[in-house]
Structure 1
């Protein structure tokens, strides 16, 4: 009689089927449990109220990651029409009105359900710093008008405040290094060079600087478990617009009716009002007595002489520290790469001089050729550029090279360490992102905990364990296996 195969019994078949289903279910659950969910985002808005204009920036980050591994990224920017808010000192209400179009733009860009939880900040920089020095009452009224306007927005307005020069420099450094993932990975940091209309900032980490020689220039951060002792300094009145005023003031000390300016193109001719030129705290105390109402500003187009004029606004003779940049300000030895942004980028990009692999002497030669080009030819080459900005590029380019080499002590060897940047991975370089990260505690002081295993590793291990369980199940069914035995032969 034929022996019955235990593998064919209903109980064995049911157990096997259930085991297979259980394994498939286990793998499916593991995969579904660990699959990426539909991404949700949080948002933040920062208004950069600079000396020449105001800009609004919108940032977003993964909602479930806040200050762990979620990168904060810029999604949109809006340039406010008109000048900076400091220009509305006589009509403060216009400062608030000027922001409305960009706020409306932000309302469309940020999902409506996120409006009331989206923080909104306004930080004012050198333009308002100058106004607060000149007329603190007018400065307060401008801030009041701006706050009243922003409080009416649907966002969570967190206040408008005046940033110190040190904060502006430090937050710019944070932005550059955060976007480049240098903080999270503990890499060598990048120095930050920021040039605005009214001030300029330099910030970098130096191994030779512990903050003791000039404590006011020291800022300490603990970010992602690493300590950073940052040197930073801001030079008020040394943004490119105010620096131009300083050079013109140097050339008009005797109250002349005309000047031949080497920093402007040959053939340039403009009438300038003395009261307008000296209408700034940076030069107001230098206005010559008995000067005429106006003077004629003529261009000469001589780059080397322009450099001499620019150098005259720096003081290199006084230094009570071991080493200085200019105006008696301490500065340690330069170290590492540097990112130069804001006006640094826009001026050098216009002049086609952002490639720092070009030797410094070649850069100077190209700038010299540009400055010597007649004003009529310059206007023909760039018909779409506003004449005010177009006229100043020779000066601005010369000022930048002089500031970097004579002011900050970059040499022919260290100049290639500078990279002129506008954006880093889609986000504008500047202080605004660092400012928001600081106020929202988006950068952890300690390194964030990471999961024990990545998603794919977890799934792989679950699968291996499941296979092992399946094998064990098979072995647990050994009593049902057919046994081999010799059957007696029938003759």
Structure 2
């Protein structure tokens, strides 16, 4: 991949409860993006956030999670992080590493550890990364941290709306009542999150419960949103399952640790230990408490419902889950997407395809009931016979029924999403443009809920939201010398505080901005000098290619004429050679082409036309002219940005917005640089002669100049462009 000095990179390690996933992102330098948008009058681009790009091969996940190193902190770097760092170093250009920030942000798994273990782990991780990598890590507390569930939810909300276009094209995403953003639901192994912008009535009513989020578009304009976000620690699928098993033990009791507990949330006939390990040895069954599946999904729904904690005291209604207050959700305008377990539990085992339209409760529940009623041996045989089986397929099938019941309860009884397809509920009426409406309907995003894994080929991950925030923080504010009061980041919504624009608990993205080199842009106009040689974007590239094509065709025509001439009579070639040689000599005397003995044109003509075999022929000597030869030719930096043709199937999507990223080339050329070789170094003879014998050099031992190797000629020095182009 091409080197591009105008690319910025970022690395995020998502340290979850079950494993750590590496994400690498890149985006165009904001100054270059602004110059291009201004040059081409692209108002949409000026009002957009930076275009973040990634690819499938730029991610990597390892198991287990960082939290498992709580008792062996010193091993977390060598045994866990190093393989992720090595992968990142294969992607990011070496010259970019020092300017590339690295973040490790731990979520629910680490939140469950004692504070002393959390602190020890984050400290060790920061020390290891500083010692063993050159990535930018100026602030340990900011770059290596255990983030709150609310922060994770907010990052996910940013990522979702970024990919769906709710930020850059609000006019095309009007859902009614002035609302144009989408809600976000996430569920992992240990926790679940929700984030959404309430309708105007609820936003005013619950202003103190909202977060103020501030981004910055390419032209430096601030963009503010007020978002509600909360988390339910212990309500991820794995923690919910652990709580459920405890309830089974209380419900049926155990006698001398040899009881068998019937479980309607396991496929019929499946037997496991309390921790979910399948039991095949009859001796183990007699010696330990086991769980036996009954495959009664309706009963499973009833027994998982109490885990929602709907009976807990609620100080301020409405309370959705575990007595936790949430502003009322207006499903006429709030359309949610669900990621992680919301996606995996509605797809995969139950056969839903990525191209399916919106989630339909009735259809989904029918599939689940049919699957869970099957005998476990039949399910196992079916999985073993599949060609596309993987090592997690059996475990996924074993856990599918409980996960489905938990998702249904959380989604419909907890959050209150309408049960489309069974309760007579219909898709809310919305006020959107026709094109956006058709596109959104096809993808299901105007339904109350739609599970997603990718949008236009890009994985929906909260890590993307963090990087969008970071990239926005690199853009200078519009028309100001600083951004005090308009900093990018998020914090408490400053309600009723006159003159306060940035709360005291403000969370900064970790990035900083610098004024643009050519002056700051004001009022949408830039004083930056445009570089006509910047080949950064598609339309510039096509224009340049047009000129290059014309020149190339001309070169081919000249080459054809020379080839044709090659087959003409030799005496005519010699006469033409003499004329060209004379022209070269005159030009060199005037500082023109060819400078120096064996200049590019004289060497070329000598090879094409040949020399005279008679005693009368000419030699051109650099010493005769005494010029500095143009035998060094330098090319300036060439910056190339990759388009979709460079991308793997992870794709680069719409910047990652909903359109594909573009190929961009940039750079400039300097004029040929005249060398400073001495006349002797350019060795050649001063005198024209008619005798070949008089041209012979004395032996080297007698002071002869000898013969210079062409390999050492400055003309054969490599251009900077001949270095490997390794940007990935």
Q: Do they fold alike, i.e. is TM over 0.5?
A: yes
**C-alpha contact 2:358 2:449 (8 A) present in aligned 1:** no
**C-alpha contact 2:6 2:32 (8 A) present in aligned 1:** no
Report the CA distance shift for 1:116/1:372 in structure 2 as closer, same or farther (over 3 A).
same
Q: 1:333 aligns to what? A: 329
Structure 2 distance, partners of 1:185, 1:100, is 40
Structure 1 distance, partners of 2:71, 2:204, is 41
* TM-score when normalising by structure 2: 0.51
Q: 2:304 aligns to what? A: 310
Structure 2 distance, partners of 1:78, 1:266, is 38
Report the CA distance shift for 1:174/1:120 in structure 2 as closer, same or farther (over 3 A).
same
Q: Which runs of 5+ in 1 are unaligned?
A: 1-36, 277-291, 461-491
Q: How does 1:184-199 map to 2 (within 5 A)?
A: 184-186=168-170, 187=173, 188-199=180-191
**C-alpha contact 1:39 1:62 (8 A) present in aligned 2:** no
Report the CA distance shift for 1:346/1:456 in structure 2 as closer, same or farther (over 3 A).
closer
Q: 1:389 aligns to what? A: 396
Structure 1 distance, partners of 2:369, 2:460, is 29
Report the CA distance shift for 1:266/1:144 in structure 2 as closer, same or farther (over 3 A).
same
Structure 2 distance, partners of 1:113, 1:429, is 29
Counterpart among 153, 170, 175 of residue 133 in structure 2: 153
Report the CA distance shift for 1:395/1:445 in structure 2 as closer, same or farther (over 3 A).
farther
Structure 2 distance, partners of 1:298, 1:391, is 12
RMSD value over aligned CA atoms?
3.2
**C-alpha contact 1:273 1:293 (8 A) present in aligned 2:** no
Q: 2:73 aligns to what? A: 92
Correspondence 1:62 to 2:28 = yes
Q: 1:171 aligns to what? A: 155
- What CA deviation, in whole Å up to 9, does each residue of 1:382-441 have, x standing for no partner? 233433333111111221111100110001237833222112234321211212333454
How far apart are residue 157 of structure 1 and its match?
2.6
Q: How many aligned residue pairs are there?
A: 403
Q: 1:180 aligns to what? A: 164
How far apart are residue 154 of structure 1 and its match?
2.2
Structure 1 distance, partners of 2:97, 2:108, is 30
**C-alpha contact 1:67 1:443 (8 A) present in aligned 2:** no
Correspondence 1:239 to 2:239 = no
Q: 1:23 aligns to what? A: none
Report the CA distance shift for 1:88/1:455 in structure 2 as closer, same or farther (over 3 A).
closer
Q: 1:298 aligns to what? A: 292
The answer to which structure has the higher strand fraction is 1
Structure 2 distance, partners of 1:345, 1:66, is 37
**C-alpha contact 1:51 1:197 (8 A) present in aligned 2:** yes
- What CA deviation, in whole Å up to 9, does each residue of 1:180-206 have, x standing for no partner? 232122341111111111001111111
**C-alpha contact 1:345 1:420 (8 A) present in aligned 2:** yes
How far apart are residue 366 of structure 1 and its match?
1.1
Structure 2 distance, partners of 1:189, 1:92, is 41
**C-alpha contact 1:67 1:442 (8 A) present in aligned 2:** no
Q: How does 1:69-108 map to 2 (within 5 A)?
A: 69=45, 70-75=50-55, 76-97=57-78, 98-108=80-90
Structure 2 distance, partners of 1:232, 1:437, is 18
Q: 1:424 aligns to what? A: 455
- What CA deviation, in whole Å up to 9, does each residue of 1:184-230 have, x standing for no partner? 22341111111111001111111132265483x42112335443211
Report the CA distance shift for 1:95/1:67 in structure 2 as closer, same or farther (over 3 A).
farther
**C-alpha contact 1:348 1:397 (8 A) present in aligned 2:** yes
Structure 2 distance, partners of 1:145, 1:180, is 38
* TM-score when normalising by structure 1: 0.75
Structure 2 distance, partners of 1:84, 1:358, is 31
Q: 2:115 aligns to what? A: 136
**C-alpha contact 1:345 1:422 (8 A) present in aligned 2:** yes
Q: 2:203 aligns to what? A: 210
**C-alpha contact 1:222 1:445 (8 A) present in aligned 2:** no
How far apart are residue 93 of structure 1 and its match?
2.6
How far apart are residue 38 of structure 1 and its match?
7.2
Match of 2:417, SS state, is: coil
**C-alpha contact 2:30 2:474 (8 A) present in aligned 1:** no
Structure 1 distance, partners of 2:242, 2:320, is 21
Counterpart among 372, 383, 408 of residue 415 in structure 2: 408
How far apart are residue 346 of structure 1 and its match?
1.8
Q: 1:352 aligns to what? A: 351
**C-alpha contact 1:58 1:77 (8 A) present in aligned 2:** yes
How far apart are residue 45 of structure 1 and its match?
0.4
Structure 2 distance, partners of 1:214, 1:251, is 41
**C-alpha contact 1:422 1:429 (8 A) present in aligned 2:** yes
Higher gyration radius (CA): 2
Q: 2:225 aligns to what? A: 228
